[in-house]
Amino acid sequence: MRLDRFLATLPELGTRSRAKGLIDDGRVAVDGVPRKSARAVRAGERIAVTVPPPEPTGVEPEALPLVVLYEDAHLLAIDKPPGMVVHPAPGARRGTVVSAVLHRLGALEAGGDPERPGIVHRLDRDTSGVLLVARTPQALEGLARQFRERTLAKRYLAVVHGVVRPAAGVIDQAIGRHPRERQRMSVGTRRGRTAVTRFEVVERFRGATLLRLAPETGRTHQIRVHLAALGHPIVADRVYGGVRGRRGASVPAAVAAALEACPRQALHAEAITFAHPVSGARMEVRAALPPDLARLLESLRRTLLA
Protein backbone atom coordinates (compact mmCIF):
# COMPACT_ATOMS: atom_id res chain seq x y z
CA MET A 1 0.00 0.00 0.00
CA ARG A 2 1.17 3.56 -0.72
CA LEU A 3 2.44 5.46 2.30
CA ASP A 4 -0.22 8.19 2.05
CA ARG A 5 -3.02 5.60 1.73
CA PHE A 6 -1.70 3.69 4.73
CA LEU A 7 -1.56 6.82 6.90
CA ALA A 8 -5.09 7.76 5.85
CA THR A 9 -6.32 4.59 7.60
CA LEU A 10 -5.20 5.98 10.97
CA PRO A 11 -8.05 7.69 12.84
CA GLU A 12 -5.68 10.46 14.00
CA LEU A 13 -5.17 11.54 10.37
CA GLY A 14 -8.37 10.43 8.67
CA THR A 15 -7.89 11.58 5.08
CA ARG A 16 -5.40 10.95 2.33
CA SER A 17 -4.99 14.68 1.64
CA ARG A 18 -4.14 15.26 5.31
CA ALA A 19 -1.59 12.43 5.16
CA LYS A 20 -0.07 13.74 1.94
CA GLY A 21 0.25 17.22 3.42
CA LEU A 22 2.23 15.87 6.37
CA ILE A 23 4.45 13.84 4.03
CA ASP A 24 5.09 16.85 1.77
CA ASP A 25 5.98 18.94 4.83
CA GLY A 26 8.65 16.40 5.83
CA ARG A 27 6.72 15.29 8.94
CA VAL A 28 6.70 11.57 8.07
CA ALA A 29 9.74 9.28 8.33
CA VAL A 30 10.02 5.57 7.56
CA ASP A 31 12.74 3.98 9.67
CA GLY A 32 14.10 7.46 10.27
CA VAL A 33 14.16 8.54 6.61
CA PRO A 34 11.63 10.99 5.04
CA ARG A 35 9.75 9.31 2.20
CA LYS A 36 7.39 10.30 -0.62
CA SER A 37 3.63 9.66 -0.74
CA ALA A 38 3.87 6.97 -3.42
CA ARG A 39 6.48 4.91 -1.59
CA ALA A 40 5.15 1.45 -0.68
CA VAL A 41 5.15 0.49 3.00
CA ARG A 42 6.54 -2.89 4.06
CA ALA A 43 5.94 -5.18 7.03
CA GLY A 44 8.19 -4.43 9.97
CA GLU A 45 8.90 -0.80 9.11
CA ARG A 46 8.53 1.87 11.80
CA ILE A 47 6.68 4.97 10.62
CA ALA A 48 6.99 8.15 12.67
CA VAL A 49 4.52 11.01 12.13
CA THR A 50 4.96 14.44 13.72
CA VAL A 51 1.50 15.99 13.85
CA PRO A 52 1.46 19.79 14.31
CA PRO A 53 -0.93 21.38 16.81
CA PRO A 54 -4.43 21.74 15.35
CA GLU A 55 -5.32 25.06 13.78
CA PRO A 56 -8.67 26.70 14.53
CA THR A 57 -11.28 25.62 11.99
CA GLY A 58 -13.79 27.71 10.13
CA VAL A 59 -13.44 30.81 7.98
CA GLU A 60 -14.83 34.11 9.21
CA PRO A 61 -16.03 36.76 6.74
CA GLU A 62 -13.94 39.94 6.84
CA ALA A 63 -14.64 43.37 5.36
CA LEU A 64 -11.58 43.48 3.13
CA PRO A 65 -11.39 45.42 -0.15
CA LEU A 66 -11.74 43.42 -3.37
CA VAL A 67 -11.14 44.60 -6.92
CA VAL A 68 -13.79 42.77 -8.97
CA LEU A 69 -12.92 42.22 -12.63
CA TYR A 70 -16.02 40.20 -13.56
CA GLU A 71 -19.08 38.92 -11.74
CA ASP A 72 -22.28 37.03 -12.54
CA ALA A 73 -24.52 34.52 -10.77
CA HIS A 74 -22.01 31.68 -11.22
CA LEU A 75 -18.59 33.25 -11.25
CA LEU A 76 -16.45 35.93 -9.61
CA ALA A 77 -13.09 37.11 -10.96
CA ILE A 78 -10.94 39.38 -8.79
CA ASP A 79 -7.61 41.15 -9.05
CA LYS A 80 -5.76 39.67 -6.07
CA PRO A 81 -3.37 42.15 -4.47
CA PRO A 82 0.15 41.13 -3.45
CA GLY A 83 0.53 40.11 0.17
CA MET A 84 -2.91 38.47 0.38
CA VAL A 85 -3.25 34.72 0.96
CA VAL A 86 -5.96 32.96 -1.07
CA HIS A 87 -7.28 30.63 1.64
CA PRO A 88 -6.53 29.97 5.32
CA ALA A 89 -3.29 28.16 6.05
CA PRO A 90 -1.10 27.63 9.11
CA GLY A 91 0.07 31.04 10.25
CA ALA A 92 -2.38 32.85 7.94
CA ARG A 93 -5.90 32.35 9.23
CA ARG A 94 -7.18 35.88 8.63
CA GLY A 95 -7.01 38.46 5.86
CA THR A 96 -7.55 35.89 3.10
CA VAL A 97 -9.32 36.09 -0.24
CA VAL A 98 -11.87 33.54 1.03
CA SER A 99 -12.73 35.76 4.03
CA ALA A 100 -13.18 38.79 1.75
CA VAL A 101 -15.35 36.84 -0.73
CA LEU A 102 -17.56 35.48 2.05
CA HIS A 103 -18.10 39.01 3.34
CA ARG A 104 -19.07 40.22 -0.13
CA LEU A 105 -21.25 37.29 -1.22
CA GLY A 106 -22.30 35.55 1.98
CA ALA A 107 -22.14 31.75 2.17
CA LEU A 108 -21.09 30.24 -1.16
CA GLU A 109 -23.13 27.39 -2.64
CA ALA A 110 -20.17 26.04 -4.60
CA GLY A 111 -19.21 23.44 -2.00
CA GLY A 112 -15.82 21.74 -1.92
CA ASP A 113 -13.36 22.22 0.95
CA PRO A 114 -15.11 24.31 3.65
CA GLU A 115 -11.91 26.29 4.15
CA ARG A 116 -11.61 26.96 0.40
CA PRO A 117 -15.19 27.41 -0.80
CA GLY A 118 -15.31 28.11 -4.53
CA ILE A 119 -11.53 28.11 -4.92
CA VAL A 120 -10.38 26.22 -8.02
CA HIS A 121 -6.86 27.61 -8.32
CA ARG A 122 -4.56 29.80 -6.28
CA LEU A 123 -1.85 32.42 -6.50
CA ASP A 124 1.09 32.69 -4.12
CA ARG A 125 0.79 35.29 -1.38
CA ASP A 126 3.09 37.76 -3.15
CA THR A 127 1.77 37.15 -6.68
CA SER A 128 -0.88 39.61 -7.89
CA GLY A 129 -3.50 39.28 -10.61
CA VAL A 130 -6.51 37.38 -11.91
CA LEU A 131 -8.13 34.83 -9.61
CA LEU A 132 -11.37 32.96 -10.40
CA VAL A 133 -13.89 31.97 -7.71
CA ALA A 134 -16.86 29.67 -8.37
CA ARG A 135 -20.19 30.69 -6.83
CA THR A 136 -22.18 27.54 -7.67
CA PRO A 137 -21.46 23.77 -7.80
CA GLN A 138 -21.90 23.82 -11.59
CA ALA A 139 -19.30 26.56 -11.93
CA LEU A 140 -16.92 24.80 -9.53
CA GLU A 141 -17.06 21.57 -11.52
CA GLY A 142 -16.85 23.35 -14.89
CA LEU A 143 -13.79 25.39 -13.94
CA ALA A 144 -12.09 22.47 -12.18
CA ARG A 145 -12.56 20.36 -15.33
CA GLN A 146 -10.91 23.02 -17.49
CA PHE A 147 -7.94 23.24 -15.16
CA ARG A 148 -7.72 19.45 -15.09
CA GLU A 149 -7.93 19.10 -18.87
CA ARG A 150 -5.75 22.18 -19.50
CA THR A 151 -8.28 23.80 -21.81
CA LEU A 152 -7.94 27.25 -20.28
CA ALA A 153 -4.95 29.54 -20.80
CA LYS A 154 -3.14 31.62 -18.17
CA ARG A 155 -0.71 34.44 -18.89
CA TYR A 156 1.72 35.99 -16.46
CA LEU A 157 4.16 38.90 -16.52
CA ALA A 158 7.46 38.66 -14.66
CA VAL A 159 10.51 40.86 -14.27
CA VAL A 160 13.59 38.65 -14.05
CA HIS A 161 17.27 39.18 -13.44
CA GLY A 162 19.55 39.19 -16.47
CA VAL A 163 19.03 39.74 -20.20
CA VAL A 164 17.04 36.78 -21.50
CA ARG A 165 17.91 35.34 -24.88
CA PRO A 166 16.47 34.04 -27.18
CA ALA A 167 13.32 36.15 -27.61
CA ALA A 168 11.04 33.15 -26.92
CA GLY A 169 11.31 29.60 -25.74
CA VAL A 170 9.92 26.66 -23.79
CA ILE A 171 11.07 25.43 -20.38
CA ASP A 172 10.28 21.71 -20.14
CA GLN A 173 11.60 20.43 -16.80
CA ALA A 174 9.81 18.20 -14.33
CA ILE A 175 9.17 19.70 -10.88
CA GLY A 176 8.97 17.98 -7.52
CA ARG A 177 9.55 18.57 -3.83
CA HIS A 178 13.11 19.65 -3.00
CA PRO A 179 14.92 16.57 -1.62
CA ARG A 180 16.05 18.40 1.55
CA GLU A 181 14.10 21.65 1.87
CA ARG A 182 10.53 20.35 1.87
CA GLN A 183 8.88 23.78 1.65
CA ARG A 184 10.54 24.39 -1.74
CA MET A 185 10.05 22.87 -5.17
CA SER A 186 12.89 21.90 -7.49
CA VAL A 187 13.75 20.63 -10.97
CA GLY A 188 16.49 18.50 -9.39
CA THR A 189 14.28 15.64 -8.20
CA ARG A 190 14.13 12.11 -9.55
CA ARG A 191 10.36 11.83 -9.27
CA GLY A 192 9.22 15.22 -10.50
CA ARG A 193 5.97 15.76 -12.40
CA THR A 194 5.89 17.05 -15.97
CA ALA A 195 5.99 20.86 -16.08
CA VAL A 196 6.05 23.07 -19.20
CA THR A 197 6.25 26.88 -19.34
CA ARG A 198 6.36 28.97 -22.52
CA PHE A 199 7.94 32.42 -22.42
CA GLU A 200 8.52 35.43 -24.64
CA VAL A 201 10.53 38.59 -24.11
CA VAL A 202 8.40 41.72 -23.84
CA GLU A 203 11.13 44.24 -23.01
CA ARG A 204 14.85 44.10 -22.21
CA PHE A 205 16.69 46.42 -19.82
CA ARG A 206 20.28 46.75 -18.62
CA GLY A 207 20.43 43.70 -16.41
CA ALA A 208 16.74 42.71 -16.31
CA THR A 209 13.99 41.48 -18.64
CA LEU A 210 10.20 41.69 -18.70
CA LEU A 211 8.75 38.32 -19.75
CA ARG A 212 5.28 37.10 -20.64
CA LEU A 213 4.76 33.50 -19.58
CA ALA A 214 2.17 30.84 -20.36
CA PRO A 215 2.32 27.78 -18.08
CA GLU A 216 0.89 24.70 -19.77
CA THR A 217 0.82 22.78 -16.49
CA GLY A 218 -0.02 23.94 -12.99
CA ARG A 219 2.69 22.72 -10.63
CA THR A 220 3.36 24.46 -7.31
CA HIS A 221 5.66 27.49 -7.82
CA GLN A 222 6.12 26.36 -11.44
CA ILE A 223 7.04 29.71 -13.03
CA ARG A 224 9.32 30.69 -10.16
CA VAL A 225 11.16 27.35 -10.19
CA HIS A 226 11.48 27.23 -14.00
CA LEU A 227 12.88 30.76 -14.29
CA ALA A 228 15.38 30.12 -11.50
CA ALA A 229 16.46 26.94 -13.29
CA LEU A 230 16.85 28.96 -16.51
CA GLY A 231 19.32 31.22 -14.67
CA HIS A 232 16.93 34.18 -14.61
CA PRO A 233 15.13 34.16 -11.25
CA ILE A 234 12.23 36.52 -10.67
CA VAL A 235 13.23 39.81 -9.09
CA ALA A 236 12.74 39.81 -5.28
CA ASP A 237 11.85 36.11 -5.16
CA ARG A 238 13.50 35.37 -1.84
CA VAL A 239 12.81 31.63 -2.00
CA TYR A 240 14.26 30.84 -5.43
CA GLY A 241 17.21 33.22 -5.59
CA GLY A 242 15.73 36.48 -6.88
CA VAL A 243 17.54 38.70 -4.38
CA ARG A 244 20.94 37.68 -5.69
CA GLY A 245 20.21 37.87 -9.38
CA ARG A 246 21.89 35.85 -12.04
CA ARG A 247 25.19 34.43 -10.86
CA GLY A 248 28.16 36.33 -12.22
CA ALA A 249 26.05 39.06 -13.83
CA SER A 250 27.13 42.68 -13.32
CA VAL A 251 24.53 45.40 -13.62
CA PRO A 252 24.69 49.20 -13.37
CA ALA A 253 24.21 50.61 -9.88
CA ALA A 254 20.92 52.29 -10.87
CA VAL A 255 19.51 48.96 -12.10
CA ALA A 256 20.65 47.15 -8.97
CA ALA A 257 18.99 49.80 -6.80
CA ALA A 258 15.71 49.53 -8.73
CA LEU A 259 15.67 45.75 -8.43
CA GLU A 260 16.49 45.78 -4.73
CA ALA A 261 13.69 48.27 -4.09
CA CYS A 262 11.04 45.87 -5.43
CA PRO A 263 8.93 44.98 -2.36
CA ARG A 264 7.86 41.47 -3.46
CA GLN A 265 8.42 38.90 -6.17
CA ALA A 266 7.80 40.61 -9.51
CA LEU A 267 5.17 38.17 -10.79
CA HIS A 268 1.66 39.12 -11.97
CA ALA A 269 -1.18 36.94 -13.30
CA GLU A 270 -2.10 39.10 -16.28
CA ALA A 271 -5.00 37.16 -17.84
CA ILE A 272 -7.03 33.95 -17.93
CA THR A 273 -8.87 32.79 -21.05
CA PHE A 274 -11.54 30.12 -20.49
CA ALA A 275 -15.03 28.92 -21.36
CA HIS A 276 -17.75 30.19 -19.06
CA PRO A 277 -18.55 27.12 -16.93
CA VAL A 278 -22.31 27.45 -17.52
CA SER A 279 -22.91 29.27 -20.83
CA GLY A 280 -19.81 27.95 -22.57
CA ALA A 281 -19.00 31.42 -23.96
CA ARG A 282 -15.30 32.05 -24.48
CA MET A 283 -14.06 34.68 -22.03
CA GLU A 284 -10.86 36.50 -21.16
CA VAL A 285 -10.38 38.29 -17.84
CA ARG A 286 -7.41 40.66 -17.53
CA ALA A 287 -5.81 42.51 -14.62
CA ALA A 288 -3.74 45.65 -15.16
CA LEU A 289 -0.17 45.75 -13.92
CA PRO A 290 -0.24 46.83 -10.25
CA PRO A 291 1.44 50.08 -9.14
CA ASP A 292 4.49 48.49 -7.51
CA LEU A 293 5.51 46.62 -10.67
CA ALA A 294 4.63 49.59 -12.87
CA ARG A 295 7.04 51.70 -10.77
CA LEU A 296 9.74 49.05 -11.13
CA LEU A 297 9.42 49.09 -14.93
CA GLU A 298 9.51 52.90 -14.98
CA SER A 299 12.74 52.84 -12.98
CA LEU A 300 14.28 50.28 -15.33
CA ARG A 301 13.29 52.27 -18.41
CA ARG A 302 14.97 55.37 -16.98
CA THR A 303 18.25 53.45 -16.72
CA LEU A 304 18.19 52.97 -20.51
CA LEU A 305 18.31 56.74 -20.95
CA ALA A 306 21.02 57.37 -18.37
Active site residues: 124
Q: In terms of Cα–Cα distance, which of 34, 291, 272 is closest to 132?
A: 272
Query: Which SS3 state, helix, strand or coil, does residue 192 take?
Result: coil
HSE-CB at 2 with a 13 A cutoff on CA atoms is 11
- Alpha carbons within 13 A on the beta-carbon side of 265: 28
For 107, half-sphere exposure in the C-beta direction (CA atoms, 13 angstrom radius) is 4
Candidates 249, 283, 298; CA nearest to 71 is 283
Q: What's the one-letter identity of residue 56?
A: P
Cα–Cα distance between 29 and 9 in angstroms, integer? 17
DSSP class of 185: E
d(CA 104, CA 84) in angstroms, rounded, equals 16
Closest CA to 306 of 263, 258, 264: 258
Q: What's the CA gap between 262 and 179, in Å, rounded?
A: 30
